Structure 1
């Protein structure tokens, strides 16, 4: 899977969706904010000093979804037909679970709008409650599902039952066995070299067995690549950028089995 917001030269650009057919698009996301039990009780009783906390957080999440294009670079301005933000107070884990659903008939998806709604709703909950509890923690914000578009439907729960497909290195050094062979089930990290790095490193895709990483992060992956292939000797070039599962990363970013790690040259433009 390629990074859609990078062109062949590695430059960032806004995807042109003018030629895509309009269709129903929908996405759901969720997350939580954990707080002290006493804070959760005050929230349930509407006893916090700033008033109706959940109503304010709901409005903030809806507004954020509608203005996602102003917050996230390269996102399109969308005419959303529905934005809903809901809350579940969980006394067992002492947290508020936040869910958001976005919908439209259009040419591009609404995943970012749903994720932004959850994020800002959680931040608003923190702001509304911080007078009595500054130890609150926001976490586990993720996409739950999406519908529509050429990429098809997605359900987060389904990803845990899929069997990963190992990737074979496009080429290997003479006399060296590829890092992963087709059909193996060895836990591994998928590596992609994008744009000019395909020619620079002489390979576009390969798979590194997870047990060969020096440490379970990007730095450990870089060291494994250098140990396996001489061509990666300058993978530590500070000008090179890295993304893990299509999110910008650095050397300290942790890695797990079947993560996709992409290396690419510095992006330019917008």
Structure 2
């Protein structure tokens, strides 16, 4: 079975997960809303005109998680087994933090459900408090960790860095001397790190690869794709239209030059579910 977010005409379509294994999956997402100190004190003391702010935001977050498929195109309708929404009051930054955990046993992950719940909980906090503070700001909505599925464990280490800890048997193939030419003695080249995301990772059967520039026929993105296609299952996935690519976190189009130590990310144009 070929999984794809695009049909034969290049149009967006929901991923078919029929043949994927059912596994225990969990995701944690967070968000934060910043407000005036006086607003925060009114929230804590239960003095805001709309009533119990945190209880309402908690219910809103849970409801949002359950209805994510109605809000985000291409997400699957999931039977969640657990959704928790917790808050922390931070007087130092005059803010309320939101932490959402979603869990289920299914064929697809719950990252979008956790992120949607965190976002809606923050929006509900804004709605409950806006009568006294319209200058509130929502920010820091992000995935903190996820588990389950072939991609394994993902954990946020610190600001701006995500750590993917995958199962090597399923998701990681590292270039070995038996599969490549050795770098010339004394070259000390840094490897180019290649990472695959979303449905592309599922189709290729690998999360990341490493290659030395000297192993490529030329130091270009097209040569790198050719090198990858010789080492993965379903290499035709690399030929899909509008495949997205980022080099060192910058989006690129067409063929691009590569340097030692670069990080190349490849992912489909549309993701969901």
* TM-score normalized with structure 1 length: 0.64
Deviation at 1:260, TM superposition (A): 4.2
Q: 2:221 and 2:151 mapped to 1: Cα distance? A: 29
Question: What is the deviation of 1:5?
Answer: 2.5
In 1, distance between residues paired with 2:248 and 2:145? Answer: 29
SS of 2:157 mapped into structure 1: helix
Task: Quote the offset at 1:179 in angstroms.
Answer: 7.6
Count the aligned residue pairs.
Answer: 207
Aligned positions of 1:146-165 closer than 5 A = 146-157=146-157, 159=161, 165=192
Query: Counterpart of 1:97 in 2: which secondary structure?
Result: strand
Partner SS for 1:156:
strand
Map of 1:119 onto structure 2? 119
Equivalent residue runs for 1:80-159 within 5 Å:
80-157=80-157, 159=161
Conserved 8 A contact 1:32-1:141: yes
The whole-number CA distance in structure 2 between the counterparts of 1:83 and 1:70 is: 17
Partner of 1:96: helix, strand, or coil?
A: strand
Structure 2 CA distance, aligned partners of 1:32 and 1:75? 24
Matching residue of 2:65: 65
Q: For residues 19 and 42 of structure 1, do their structure 2 counterparts lie closer, same or farther at Cα, with a shift above 3 Å needed?
A: same
Residue 27 of structure 1 aligns to a residue whose secondary structure is strand
**Partner of 1:142: helix, strand, or coil?**
strand
1:179–1:113 Cα change, 3 Å? closer
Following superposition, the deviation at residue 180 of structure 1 comes to: 11
- Deviation of 1:68 (Å): 0.6
Match of 1:15 in 2: 15
**Matched position secondary structure for 1:146:** strand
Change (3 A) 1:227 1:29: closer
Q: Within 1, Cα distance between the matches of 2:58 and 2:191?
A: 38
Distance 1:113 1:227, change over 3 A: closer
Asked whether 1:195 is paired with 2:250, we answer no
How far apart, CA to CA, are the structure 2 residues paired with 1:32 and 1:92? 13
How far 1:21 sits from its partner (Å)?
A: 2.0
Counterpart in 2 of 1:31?
31
Residue 118 of structure 1 aligns to a residue whose secondary structure is helix
CA-to-partner distance for each residue in 1:84-124, whole Å, 9 max, x for gaps?
00000100011100000011111111111111110000000
Secondary structure of the structure 1 residue equivalent to 2:51: coil
Using a 3 Å threshold, how does the CA distance of structure 1 residues 30 and 22 change in structure 2: closer, same or farther?
same
User: RMSD across aligned C-alpha pairs, in angstroms?
Assistant: 3.8
Please report how far the alpha carbon of residue 8 of structure 1 lies from its aligned counterpart in structure 2 after TM superposition: 6.6
Distance 1:117 1:196, change over 3 A: closer
CA contact (8 A) 2:56 2:124 kept: yes
Aligned partner of residue 125 in structure 1, secondary structure: helix
CA distance, structure 1, for counterparts of residue 255 and residue 150 of structure 2: 38
Quote the offset at 1:11 in angstroms.
Answer: 2.2
- Cα distance in 2 between the residues matched to 1:29 and 1:144: 5
**Structure 2: gaps (5+ residues):** 165-189, 195-210, 225-237
Stretches of structure 1 lacking an aligned partner (at least 5 in a row): 183-192, 199-203, 211-216, 229-256
